[in-house]
Amino acid sequence: MANKQWFWQPKHTGEAAISEENVPVHIAIIMDGNGRWAKKRALPRIAGHNEGMKTVRKITRSANRIGVKVLTLYAFSTENWKRPKLEVDFLMKLPEEFLSTFLPELIEENVRVEMIGDIEQLPAHTKKAVQNAIEKTAGNTGLVLNFALNYGSRSEIVHAVQSIMKDVEAGKLADQDVTDETISSYLMTGHLPEPDLLIRTSGEHRLSNFMLWQLAYTEFFFTDVLWPDFSEEHLFEAVKAFQKRSRRFGGLSQ
Ligand code: FPP
């Protein structure tokens, strides 16, 4: 399988059952359930986020190993600012904590870090850590680890529409040339393939303003497992479920 050379652990049983033919190119994950994980253990919510960060590392490595090309992780939504300040401050420290520990490993594993969302509104320390990781990994050609941070899909679409209108007014784009490909290309994910598989953990079944345009033909996989408990085996289970689906993109199966 692609990227296998960066890993040394024995294969999991679940991994062995994945077909190399049809690995999702882009997996997007709504990482949910950190708070409930902590509550079950009578721990503060931030302990759940901290554990969730460890899961990010595990799942990044596994996705890379099985040959996934893009992994988009919903780490902080534009709505998450409504949470208590202590929790927001903690969540804003996680990218730098994660990257200060794991950036060398990501570089070694040829992972390229990217981000979607409004970087300007992030605290300076968070922005600096993310920008540094993006720069240090810009030349890497393996898995794209795309953090959705301060991300909201409706706001992304509004900005895309505004940019298209400006370009039409400036004569750079004819209004009849505004197609769905044009809109896709003006989104923050314009350079990436659309997700093939969306996973949401913790038993919730909604999109929460995540990649609304990009998920039009994506296969959804919902699991009751809380994000801190989400293991490599769970990822492989989701990929295997995806491989059994018949994707028709609005047409008929062949
Ligand atoms: C939702 O669970 C989770 C979040 C809002 C934060 C997700 C962040 C991480 C998993 C860590 C990110 C790591 C890096 C490296 C950026 P919730 O708090 O809403 O859980 P609940 O629904 O059980 O309360």
Domain boundaries, the chain: 23-152+194-243
- To the question of domain 23-152+194-243 being in CATH 3.40.1180.10, the answer is yes
Residues 163, 186 contacting (CB under 8 angstroms): yes
- How many Å from the N-terminal Cα to the C-terminal Cα in the chain? 27
Q: Is the CB of 238 under 6 A from ligand 1?
A: no
Nearest-atom index, ligand 1, CA of 34 = 20
What confidence score (pLDDT) does residue 7 get?
A: 39
Give me the residues of the chain with pLDDT under 70, please: 1-16, 253-254
What confidence score (pLDDT) does residue 254 get?
A: 57
For 120, 157, 170, the CA distances from 163, given in Å and listed in that order, are 18, 10, 10
Residues 112, 81 contacting (CB under 8 angstroms): no
Nearest CA residue ID for atom 24, ligand 1? 35
What confidence score (pLDDT) does residue 10 get?
A: 42
pLDDT tens profile 229-248: 999 999 999 999 999 998 77
The reply to whether 196 belongs to the active site is no
Ligand 1, from 30, 32, 82, 222: best to mutate by most atoms within 8 Å of Cβ?
Answer: 32
Residue of 140, 63, 74, 72 lying closest to 106 (CA atoms): 140
